[in-house]
Homo-oligomer: A and B are copies of this chain.
Amino acid sequence: MNIGEVSQRTGLPAKTIRYYEDIDLVTPQRAENGYRAFRESDLHKLTFLGRARALGFTIEDCRTLLALYEDSERESAQVKALAQEHLHAIDDKIAQLQSMRATLAHLVHACHGDDRPDCPILGDLAKGALR
């Protein structure tokens, strides 16, 4: 299977797939013409990676998950721990964004947004500044 087909079937850009090879997440074989020759197992790994990335796992997390995935001796507790940690990170991020959102929404609401220059948004950003 050439990279184009893999790209189509996984939904990952070819560039990304090459990059994943570069950082040793997949190691496709090579055809005689120098083209990458992907096996089904490579396709599965890439699908796996695509999903894990879509869930927001970092590349390094993905590497770990992939290793666990390939390790039939793994303890599911390890996977769960990693996922849970990531879940907390997501929660933190959501909380942070929501706090930003609240402040910003308040400011946007307060700004009349017309052709005059006075603007509570800028006012708030400059708070603490004398001018």
Contacts and interface: CB of A to CB of B under 8 A. Distances in A.
A55 B103 contact: yes
Quickly give the copy total for this chain.
Answer: 2
User: Chain A interface: which size bin?
Assistant: 35 or more
Which applies to chain A's interface (DSSP): helix, strand, loop or mixed? helix
A125 B52 contact: yes
A120 to B, nearest CB: 8
A122 B69 contact: yes
20 contacts: A44-B130, A44-B131, A47-B129, A48-B126, A48-B129, A65-B125, A68-B122, A74-B119, A76-B116, A76-B119, A77-B115, A79-B111, A79-B113, A81-B113, A83-B104, A84-B108, A87-B104, A90-B97, A90-B104, A94-B98
